[in-house]
Structure 1
Amino acid sequence: MAPKGSMTTELFIAFLEHFSKYKCNNGPTLLVFDGASSHLDFTIAEKADNLGITLFCLPSNTTHELQPLDKAVFRSFEAHWDNELLRYWDANPQRSLNKARFNIILSRVWPKCMTPDNIINGFKATGLFPLNSEAIHESAFAPSL
């Protein structure tokens, strides 16, 4: 874990090594990711290439529209997390949520969100797969005010 809990180049390389063990039939693999500065390093690109992983970096400030996990999994996660947390607080009036209790709640929420259907729907909603240039409404491309 990084000192501040955020991704570092070293952690991302370790992730790529772990991720590569689970590639389908060890064939070509596409990894879609955001443009965080810790992900944009030559050593990362080189490591991915050596592992047979093609990196596709989403354009800056577009992950809310283009990242499949944001569109489907995390949205579902927020709703389930809120429900489980309210249930926890009802059962535990002291409302203290330490690391162990956090993990208990997380273990109830995660399987409800990280489902094949949610993941597939995330890719469909972003238009990444199947490829659909109409998936994102035109208003999403308007400048921010």
Structure 2
Amino acid sequence: MDETALSISSKPLPVLARKGSRHVGRLRAEKSRLITAIYACCASGKYVPPLMVFPGKINEDMFEGAPVGSVGTSSPSGWFNENVFVLCVKHFDEFVKASSNNPMFLILYGHTSHMSYGAIIYCIERDITMITLPSHASHKLQPLDVGVFKSLKSALKVAQLNRLSHNIPKRITEAEIGRIFGHAYNISTQIFHAINAFRATGIEPLQSKYFFGIGFCSGKIFCRKIS
């Protein structure tokens, strides 16, 4: 599981004009607007529908065309926080159905917002063991960073440019966010992206010389080193 910030602002497109022109019209840049998308995937190539965090209020129009099964919430800034993480863990569990007969490992970046007491208690009760990655190593060890988010942002940029090319000079509105993000999500969440990402990070199959992690399971905190 990991989160990434996505820009939904209407950026100006390149303008072609006659040499020497003194007045050339173009779309004006607007203030940056960001949403946070939380992804989860496994080494077999399956994905949990994303959770999106919006700044300010949200409405149903924002989810038109969004990935099937996705959910949304809001925070003052649109960024990830402890309350959002609790929702993420519960959303994750709704799809994986963790239990004593079906225990889960949840690998994620060791940010302070992930150390929510409510989330930890929930994971203990549902037999979900959280394993945190070492600091400053997500670009090497986090599969989503390595093999999925780059494709997502490239697809999102293309979708935004296509939208602006056919609707100049209109800006991208909140009602179009779900449709644009849904298009980029479908392109970026291919099975081979997840499989190759886990292989590239050395997590599955395990190839790293050392892999450090901190886990929470059955009411105990443990640190494990696998060589």
Whether 2:124 is the aligned partner of 1:66: answer no
Check if 1:17 corresponds to 2:90.
yes
2:171 aligned with 1:96, yes or no?
yes
Give the gaps of 5 or more residues in structure 2.
1-73, 210-227
Counterpart check, 1:52 vs 2:138: no
Distance 1:84 1:20 in 2: 31
Label 1:14 to 1:3 Cα distance change in 2 as closer, same or farther (>3 A).
same
The one-letter amino acid of 1:9's match is E
The answer to whether 1:3 aligns with 2:76 is yes
CA distance in 2, matches of 1:104, 1:46: 35
The whole-number CA distance in structure 1 between the counterparts of 2:97 and 2:176 is 35
How far did residue 73 of structure 1 move?
1.0
Number of residue-to-residue matches in the alignment: 134
Higher percent of residues as helix: 1
Aligned-pair identity in percent equals: 28
Counterpart of 2:127, as a letter, is G
Q: Secondary structure at the match of 2:77?
A: coil
Higher-Rg member (1/2): 2
Question: Following superposition, which runs of at least 4 residues in structure 1 exceed 4 angstroms of deviation?
Answer: none
Note the alpha carbon deviations across 1:13-70, whole angstroms, 9 max, x for none: 2322222222267411010111121112344322211111010111111111111111
- Paired residue secondary structure (2:84): helix
In structure 1, list runs of 5 or more residues that go unmatched: 135-145
Query: In the alignment, which of 182, 190, 197 is matched to residue 107 of structure 1?
Result: 182
- 1:25 and 1:2, CA in 2 relative to 1: closer, same or farther beyond 3 A? closer
Alpha-carbon contact 2:98-2:126 (below 8 Å) kept: no
